[in-house]
A and B are shown apart, each in its own frame.
Chain A
Amino acid sequence: MIVGKQKPLPEIREMIADYGNILILGCGTCATVCFAGGEREVDILASSLGIAAKLEGKERVTTKHTVKRQCEWEFLDEIEEKVKQADAVLSLGCGVGVQAIAERFPEIPVLPGLDTLFMGMPVEEGVWVERCVGCGNCILNQTGGICPIARCPKGLINGPCGGYRDGKCEVDPTRDCAWVLIYERLKKMGRLDMLHTSQPLKDYSKMGHPRSITR
């Protein structure tokens, strides 16, 4: 899933300062699951912004709505009327959602309420971690199902740098070195031989933006 986190309230307030009537739009998929922009977060943000407006002595109307998915135009049809009433849409979807809204409703300003972070998953209560950077040429079959591109800060694909210490990464000692994880897993699988082959240079053209596929 796509993981994001809400921007700090002062930044959001600055973004909406010029608009009196705001539609706060949640997303029912990834943003809901990572507790960044679902129905609950829309409610909380609406009341925070309401209190802030009161304190500033400003007039502000906020409308709330959460669609199933912001990243597909067909799910945005249902908000057409609400969008017409608003001066701006404050999206709590990921960057894809924000752009889908901008393309679907060309006349209205769309503001990003989240900072979109990565593709990842929850590993414990309240902790999400990055797992894939969409490199376009998956090598997980050769790395014990652990991605060194997403999980090693240097994206090394031929084994670890010299910096790890007690299995932890030189960049952040609270994090496991991806290559130590790969080593341990391949060892368990009895496939340490996989570490002997050198990976060729990566074809980064597969990560060149913007990408698209046609089926």
Chain B
Amino acid sequence: MTMKAGTNLEKVLESGAFAVTAEAGPAKGAVTSVIERKGEMLKPCCDAVNVTDNQSAVVRMSSWSSCVLLKRLGLDPVMQIVVRDRNRLAIQSDVLGAVAMGIQNILCLSGDHQAIGNHPDAKGVYDIDSIQLIQMLKGMRDEKKFQCGEEISGEVPIFIGAAANPFAAPFEYRVLRLAKKVKAGADFIQTQAIFDVAKFAKWMEMVRDRGLDKQTHILAGLVPIKSVGMARYMKDYVSGVYVPDEVVTRLEGAKNAKEEGIKICLETIEQLKEIQGVHGIHIMAVAWEEMVPHIVEQAKLLPRPVV
């Protein structure tokens, strides 16, 4: 079968294996060691590693330069792009640069609004939206054309990703949204963190009814919870994340919240493995990346396939 980009992530997913990806936040400074340390940690247990793009609208080292650092260590990076900070010109030129550096998985996101970050007075760009970004990348890859229609010299092999939030009400809307992203050209999907597996399973059922699981690879999102405070915070303040009360209560009742958080995560993974159409997991261990190898090992997902 012909590959779209031939990245490790694409190969693993196309092989039919259950993929594992994780998220790594770049440094809040110009030091290389922060992302490199995370990279070394995640390399043996992940098929690809996402690098966030000024996540929560807080400035950090750029996603693409952090991806280059990971690539040098032999990882397969997923460059996240939000449409908040760059217009169509800047995004296309960054994509060309990224592909030139061997970064070929790109995740298309709207991005948190600048008002909730550390530069709330900034002008938001939002020249295009996440769906249009997917379309634009697909056009660059499949038609070798810039958004304006002009020819690109040479190939732009990219494996295109998008995010999905299965939980926000109105619920039916979320599947419609996914369908639109798949139609636009999303090759893989990484979902928002899942704590309510029953609700996610219902969403997946609607996804399967539309045959979307056959047209894209869905990776189920996970956030291991470190403390009761974190659970409460995510429940109340983190955009797009849904933490049911039971999870908070369970952590409150636990002797060791950290252990309990990992246990919840592992139980969720076991349940996710059983859901038809889920092709892997995406672990977002915010400032807790060192737990990822342990989680992947305990979930019996090691060693990672060599493809």
Contact A160 B177, beta carbon cutoff 8 Å: yes
Contact B183 A162, beta carbon cutoff 8 Å: no
Q: Which of B169, B173, B240 contacts A170 (CB 8 A)?
A: B240
Contact A198 B163, beta carbon cutoff 8 Å: no
**Residues on A with beta carbons closer than 8 Å to the beta carbon of B169:** 166-167
**Residues on B with beta carbons closer than 8 Å to the beta carbon of A156:** 110, 126, 129
The A-contacting residues of B in range 146-180, CB under 8 angstroms, are: 147, 163-165, 168-170, 173, 176-177, 179-180
The verdict on A195 contacting B239 (CB below 8 Å), with A165-B168, A170-B112 known, is no
B279 within 8 A of partner (CB): no
The bracket for how many chain A residues form the interface is: 20 to 34
Contact A163 B112, beta carbon cutoff 8 Å: yes
The answer for the CA separation of A163 and B167 in the assembled complex, in Å, is: 10
Contact B184 A159, beta carbon cutoff 8 Å: no
B128 within 8 A of partner (CB): yes
Chain A: minimal CB distance from B131 (Å): 4
The answer for the CA separation of A159 and B165 in the assembled complex, in Å, is: 13
**Residues on B with beta carbons closer than 8 Å to the beta carbon of A201:** 88, 127-128, 132, 136, 147
B63 within 8 A of partner (CB): no
The answer for the CA separation of A153 and B113 in the assembled complex, in Å, is: 8
Residue of A with least CB distance to B87: A204
Contact A162 B165, beta carbon cutoff 8 Å: yes
The answer for the CA separation of A172 and B164 in the assembled complex, in Å, is: 21
Contact A154 B131, beta carbon cutoff 8 Å: no
Chain A: minimal CB distance from B172 (Å): 9
B216 within 8 A of partner (CB): no
Contact B113 A155, beta carbon cutoff 8 Å: no
The B-contacting residues of A in range 173-215, CB under 8 angstroms, are: 180, 183-184, 192, 195-196, 198-202, 204
A164 within 8 A of partner (CB): yes
**Residues on B with beta carbons closer than 8 Å to the beta carbon of A159:** 131, 173, 176-177, 180
Chain B: minimal CB distance from A149 (Å): 10
The verdict on A163 contacting B239 (CB below 8 Å), with A156-B126, A198-B135 known, is yes
The answer for the CA separation of A167 and B170 in the assembled complex, in Å, is: 8
**Residues on B with beta carbons closer than 8 Å to the beta carbon of A9:** none
The answer for the CA separation of A172 and B183 in the assembled complex, in Å, is: 31
| Number of interchain pairs (Cβ within 8 Å) | 89
The answer for the CA separation of A192 and B172 in the assembled complex, in Å, is: 11
Residue of B with least CB distance to A166: B169
B58 within 8 A of partner (CB): no
The answer for the CA separation of A148 and B116 in the assembled complex, in Å, is: 20
A17 within 8 A of partner (CB): no
Residue of A with least CB distance to B128: A201
A117 within 8 A of partner (CB): no
The answer for the CA separation of A183 and B174 in the assembled complex, in Å, is: 11
Residue of B with least CB distance to A182: B173
Residue of B with least CB distance to A177: B168
The answer for the CA separation of A215 and B75 in the assembled complex, in Å, is: 61
The answer for the CA separation of A155 and B84 in the assembled complex, in Å, is: 10
Residue of B with least CB distance to A170: B239
**Residues on B with beta carbons closer than 8 Å to the beta carbon of A163:** 110, 112-113, 239-240
Q: Which of B126, B127, B168 contacts A162 (CB 8 A)?
A: B168
**Residues on A with beta carbons closer than 8 Å to the beta carbon of B110:** 154, 156, 161-163
The B-contacting residues of A in range 129-165, CB under 8 angstroms, are: 153-165
Contact B170 A183, beta carbon cutoff 8 Å: yes
The verdict on A171 contacting B115 (CB below 8 Å), with A160-B177, A162-B165, A162-B192 known, is yes
Contact A198 B115, beta carbon cutoff 8 Å: no
Q: Which of B113, B127, B179, B180 contacts A158 (CB 8 A)?
A: B180
Contact B239 A204, beta carbon cutoff 8 Å: no
Contact A154 B176, beta carbon cutoff 8 Å: no
Chain B: minimal CB distance from A166 (Å): 7
Q: Which of A162, A167, A196 has the most CB of B within 10 A?
A: A162
The answer for the CA separation of A157 and B132 in the assembled complex, in Å, is: 9
Interface string of B114-150 (1 = CB under 8 A from A): 0110000000101111111001100000000001000
Q: Which residues of A contact B (CB under 8 A)?
A: 153-167, 170-172, 180, 183-184, 192, 195-196, 198-202, 204
Contact sample, A vs B, 28 pairs, CB 8 Å cutoff:
A153-B115, A154-B124, A154-B126, A155-B126, A156-B126, A158-B130, A158-B131, A158-B132, A158-B180, A159-B173, A159-B176, A162-B168, A163-B110, A166-B169, A170-B112, A170-B113, A170-B240, A171-B115, A172-B115, A180-B173, A195-B180, A198-B180, A200-B132, A201-B88, A201-B132, A201-B136, A202-B127, A204-B127
Lowest 7 A-B CB distances belong to which pairs?
A163-B239, A162-B165, A161-B110, A162-B240, A158-B131, A170-B239, A171-B113
Known contacts A161-B130, A192-B176, then 19 further A-B pairs from the complex at CB < 8 Å, ordered by chain A residue: A153-B113, A154-B110, A157-B129, A158-B131, A162-B168, A162-B192, A163-B112, A163-B113, A166-B169, A167-B169, A170-B113, A172-B115, A183-B170, A195-B176, A196-B179, A198-B183, A199-B132, A201-B88, A201-B127
